[in-house]
Structure 1
Amino acid sequence: MTPPIIVVTGMPFEARIARGDGVVVVCAQNHTLASDLEAAMAPDGARGLVSFGTAGGLRPGVTPGQWVIAHNVLDMPQQAHAYLSCAAWANALRRAMPDALRADLAGVTAPVVTADDKAALWRESGAAAADMESHIVARVAHAHGLPFVAARVVIDPAERSLPPAALAGLRSDGSTDILGVLRSLAVNPRQLPALLRVGKDASRARQAMRHGRRIVTLELGDGFGAVAAGI
């Protein structure tokens, strides 16, 4: 049996978009992701790993809905160790999505919430965006000698801080907590305009992900599979 491509996401809505024929999806938060990914690989192995989903913008001017195809994934918890993504996979995605940005991604352990913190991480890393799963995907791929690529859509721009309600609406498993949002709004109703902007940005990111998922599927079936098989 041919080993699968494993696609990794951090949030349930990302996993729903990622699912489809020809791939196995692992959706987990970063504190359990490595073990969950190892468990998914245990039965049949994997041809390679793909980090797929959203990322927070770090580089000024990078807008919601912008695809970022990682050149390096920078493992910030491990002194910004750089994991080079599979060039053939990344180049195939970049050719298929000519508007995508080829840049570094920063892997972090917690959301980067404020504009000041985003600016500081950008100065430190030079990365265009940050997410909480790609560095773990890169670690596991490196440990197993597997090709990997990270393809992420910016969901919030570098210039904008997230309102408290946006974080209150996230459960520990990445799903949405509507009551948490309402409680936060009740405490501070003035954050409503910022929360509505977050919702608009998230809608743009979801639309970009749905379009990009079709492209990734084609590349997984052709160029990705060939590279992973050593052809």
Structure 2
Amino acid sequence: MTLTVWSWCLRGAWLMSGRAAVIAVTSLALEARIASGPGVSVICNQASRLASSLEAAIERGACGIISFGIAGGLAPKLVAGDWVVGSAVRSRDERHPADARWARRLMEALPGAVLAETAGADGAIATCVDKRRLHEQTNTVAVDMESHVAARVAARHNIPFAICRTIIDAANRDLPPAALLELQEDGTADVLAILRSLARRPSQIPALARIAVEAWIAREALRRGRALLGPGLGCPFVAQRAPEVLVTPPMLSDPQFSAQS
């Protein structure tokens, strides 16, 4: 079998589509590249536009939605590269449970992963104080800015939902201003903005260097874990509901990624 994964940019959302319809929700370009593969369509978008992008993707068919990528640590024992499989996501007064069968599959595939509830936030949780407060208030172990949005959409459409994240910044790590800048439309870092931030506040360079090392650790963990999860990112419903249609991008004709099996 030959699977071709296409990549194109449509109104700021990177979509990578193949045959089956597990939708992986990400916000970083590196997360999207790692998540893509057989049985997976990837949405890479910022939280403010994520719901509308998900709704559009669901119209093409979906057998599951998974929040995949990196997360900030809230539980003190978690460090960069540790895997968290969400049993549910909490956001303010909301709690959305993950599909139990899918979560078990993820736990079986990822040795050492932690099964626990995670938090969804509308903004960055950047300081040790804020992380500790959120952990104490919610008893969640990790936080990201996409899972709660994806969970709401999945619940609205009665689609199985999962959370699979690896830690980048531990609970005892403050994020420097340069690490909190907005991403570009394609989910990559705005290098010029980072350099300007460093020029204004060079004292943050050591902290940013530590985050860069932890980002590398998290990225490598994502790659290893993605290989273990296999087609469909461990979704147990792919064979039952996935359409046998190859999605072709509307604007580009050349495949950016391809996989042979």
- Mark yes or no: TM-score above 0.5: yes
- Cα separation, 2, equivalents of 1:28 and 1:55: 15
Structure 2 partner of 1:50: 66
Gaps of at least 5 residues in structure 1 are: none
Amino acid in structure 2 at the alignment position of 1:123: E
Displacement after TM superposition at 1:225 (Å): 2.3
Query: Does structure 2 retain, via aligned residues, the 8 Å contact 1:153–1:209?
Result: yes
3-state DSSP class of the match of 2:236? Answer: helix
1:208 is aligned to 2:232: no
Deviations for 1:164-189, whole angstroms, at most 9, x for unmatched residues?
Answer: 12123744664201111111111121
Greater strand proportion: 2
Q: Which amino acid aligns with 2:80?
A: P
The one of 149, 152, 158 aligned to 1:139: 152
RMSD in angstroms over aligned alpha carbons?
1.9
Opposite residue 85 of structure 1, the aligned amino acid is A
Q: Which residue of 2 aligns with 1:34?
A: 51
Number of the residue aligned with 2:38 = 21
Match for 2:117: what amino acid?
Answer: D
Q: Distance in 2 between matches of 1:9 and 1:186?
A: 30
Of 128, 137, 140, 1:127 maps to 140
State how 1:151-162 maps to structure 2 within 5 Å.
151-162=164-175
1:97 aligns with 2:113: no
Q: Choose from 125, 129, 132 the match for 1:116.
A: 129
**Relative contact order: is structure 1 or structure 2 higher (C-alpha 8 Å, sep ≥ 6)?**
2
Q: Provide the secondary structure at the position in 2 that maps to 1:60.
A: coil
What SS does the corresponding residue of 1:154 show, helix, strand or coil? strand
Q: Please list, as runs of the form range in 1=range in 2, the aligned pairs for 1:73-84 lying within 5 A after superposition.
A: 73-76=89-92, 79=93, 81-84=94-97
Per the alignment, residue 65 of structure 1 pairs with 81
| Aligned residues of 2:22 and 2:41 also touching (Cα < 8 A) | yes
Separation in 2 of the partners of 1:176 and 1:24? 22
Q: TM-score, with normalisation over the residues of structure 2?
A: 0.81
Match of 2:177 among 164, 175, 179: 164
Matches of 1:23 and 1:133 in 2, distance apart?
17
Question: Which has the larger helix fraction?
Answer: 1
Q: Residue 92 of structure 1 contacts residue 219 of structure 1 at CA under 8 Å; is this kept in 2?
A: no
TM-score (norm 1): 0.91
Count of aligned pairs? 224
CA distance in 2, matches of 1:228, 1:123: 39
Deviation at 1:27, TM superposition (A): 1.0
1:224 is displaced (CA, Å) by 4.3
Seq. identity, %: 46
Q: How far 1:207 moved relative to its partner?
A: 0.2
Equivalent pair of 1:30/1:132 in contact (CA under 8 Å): yes
Deviations 1:40-74 (A, max 9, x none): 1112x211111101111111121011110001111
The reply on whether 1:86 has 2:103 as its aligned counterpart is no
